Structure 1
Amino acid sequence: MLDARLRPLIDPPLNAMGRTLARAGVSANWLTFCGLAIGLAGAAAIASGHFGWGLALALANRVLDGLDGAVARASQPTDLGGYFDIVADFAFYVSVPVAFGILDPANLLPALVLAASFVLTGTSFLAFAVIAAKRGEETEAHGRKSFFYSTGLAEGTETVVIFALMALVPAWFVPLAWGYAALCVLTVIQRSALAWITFR
């Protein structure tokens, strides 16, 4: 919901850094894998109760996620890079609720439901992208991407905000997890309605 609105603000500095890194020979895929490792380390920190480190590493993951695309745009975007990027994104997203479930057995059910809602959201996102590509549809609402990015209520920005709140106030994990899982389900419904309008 907020990603497309933030693009005009975050793209200029990211693209400038991306051009610098590309000239230095840094590859987009290397940034993707570094970002994934850092994000999973953040989830491990949360599972161990080190919330400050978890939040810092999660935010670093998101910065690297933005930089890998900027480097790709400054050099040569590839389909393989786009594939690695989206797999790394969802691996990180799922790792955070799993970490909170490991941290405290009382978190287990909402963590499981939140992780499942991420799977549903990701499925609807990727299915929409596949059909949109098949029909030759394009959009740059989220910047230049490897494949079609459909807009939804729960996107990357909202997810980062929720993760930050969970790390800052761990006692709120259960209501935040239930609430965000509900928003993810609404996103699937909203995207399915858009698919009905667009693809029928």
Structure 2
Amino acid sequence: MLDTHARKFVQPSIEHTAKWFLTRGMTPDQVTIIAFVSGIGTSVLYILGYPVAAVILLWLSGYLDAVDGTMARHTKSTPFGTVMDITFDRVVEVSMIVAIAYVHPGVLWPLLLLTVSIVISMTIFLVVGTVSEKAGVKSFYYQAGLAERTEGFILFSLMLLLPDILLWTTLIFFAAELFTGVQRFVEARKILT
């Protein structure tokens, strides 16, 4: 929801950073890899006991993930770049869940439910993007929903920083992802039948 409705407020900064990387000869794929390494670093820092540093690195990763897409729109994007970007995003999310489960094994079942809801929501998102004839500014049809990447980062940040309410933030995240999956499924039925 925030990615769809609030992006216009941060897009000038993203544009500026994208142009900065492009003038230095960097490619969108290189920035995707930097975002990926930063995202994985989040999990490592969390396991090592540095939750604040982990959250800062998580948001840097997310910011760079937006920058690489903007760079791709200013240059020639490749289908493999899209595959790499989406795959790396999911690996970062899964690594976060694994790191949280490692540090807090008492919430393993809610984290498993969260993982299932992410898989369901992303499956619908990717399949609709693939089979839809609609096009957007991205390289595929982008289905908005309640829980997009920014909401996920907010909830992951709360999970990392507030372990006393970890069970509840995990269950809220699970419910938001599941609701988003239902939203996307209902929209898919409308646009694809």
Q: CA RMSD in A?
A: 1.3
The CA distance in 2 between the partners of 1:13 and 1:48, in whole Å, is 31
- Structure 2 runs not aligned, ≥5 long: none
The aligned counterpart of 1:179 is 172
The CA distance in 2 between the partners of 1:104 and 1:189, in whole Å, is 29
Report how far residue 48 of structure 1 moved.
Answer: 3.0
The aligned counterpart of 2:79 is 79
Report how far residue 37 of structure 1 moved.
Answer: 1.1
Identity among equivalent positions (%) equals 28
Q: Aligned AA for 2:192?
A: F
* Runs of 4+ in structure 1 over 3 Å off: none
Q: Aligned AA for 1:82?
A: T
Please say which of residues 84-93 and 7-16 is displaced more in the overlay: 7-16
Report how far residue 12 of structure 1 moved.
Answer: 1.8
The aligned counterpart of 1:152 is 145
- Structure 1 runs not aligned, ≥5 long: none
Report how far residue 121 of structure 1 moved.
Answer: 1.3
The CA distance in 2 between the partners of 1:18 and 1:182, in whole Å, is 34
The aligned counterpart of 2:63 is 63
Report how far residue 89 of structure 1 moved.
Answer: 1.0
The CA distance in 2 between the partners of 1:171 and 1:184, in whole Å, is 22
Give the conservation status (yes or no) of the 8 Å contact 1:120–1:188: yes
Give the conservation status (yes or no) of the 8 Å contact 1:153–1:186: yes
Q: Normalised by the size of structure 1, how large is the TM-score?
A: 0.91
Deviations 1:10-58 (A, max 9, x none): 2122112212211210111111111111111111222333211211111
Give the conservation status (yes or no) of the 8 Å contact 2:100–2:160: no
The CA distance in 2 between the partners of 1:10 and 1:74, in whole Å, is 17
Deviations 1:89-113 (A, max 9, x none): 1111122121110112102111111
Paired residue total:
193
The aligned counterpart of 1:192 is 185
SS in 2 for 1:147: coil
The question of 1:97 aligning with 2:94 is answered: no
Q: Aligned AA for 2:70?
A: A
Q: Aligned AA for 1:161?
A: I
Give the conservation status (yes or no) of the 8 Å contact 2:101–2:108: yes
Q: Normalised by the size of structure 2, how large is the TM-score?
A: 0.95
